[in-house]
């Protein structure tokens, strides 16, 4: 993960690209950083983010997805 304005890199190790492992990997890492850095998250449209609503609820954080044709 990269914080957009500062370029701060937050590495997150995942067991696999499965939806469960991605959600758990992000949640574990996001819980360790300051709340002001986890107000929201923008993600691409990969199928590994299928559990985004659960992660959003667990972290009390908004999750957005990039536009369909955005680079």
Q: Return d(Cα 3, Cα 10) in angstroms, integer.
A: 8
| Residue that has been written with the tokens 């304005």 in this structure | 5
Say if pTM beats, i.e. exceeds, 0.75: yes
| pLDDT for the residue numbered 13 | 84
| pLDDT for the residue numbered 1 | 83
Mean pLDDT by 10 residues, the chain (71 residues): 84 90 92 84 86 93 84 60
What Rg do the C-alpha atoms of the chain give, in angstroms? 12
């Amino acid at each position: 993960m990269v914080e957009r304005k500062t370029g701060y890199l937050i590495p997150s190790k995942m067991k696999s690209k499965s939806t469960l492992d991605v959600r758990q990997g992000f949640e574990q890492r996001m819980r360790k950083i300051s709340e002001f850095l986890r107000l929201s998250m923008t993600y691409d449209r990969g199928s590994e983010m299928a559990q985004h609503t659960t992660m959003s609820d667990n972290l009390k954080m908004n999750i957005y997805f990039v536009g369909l044709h955005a680079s």
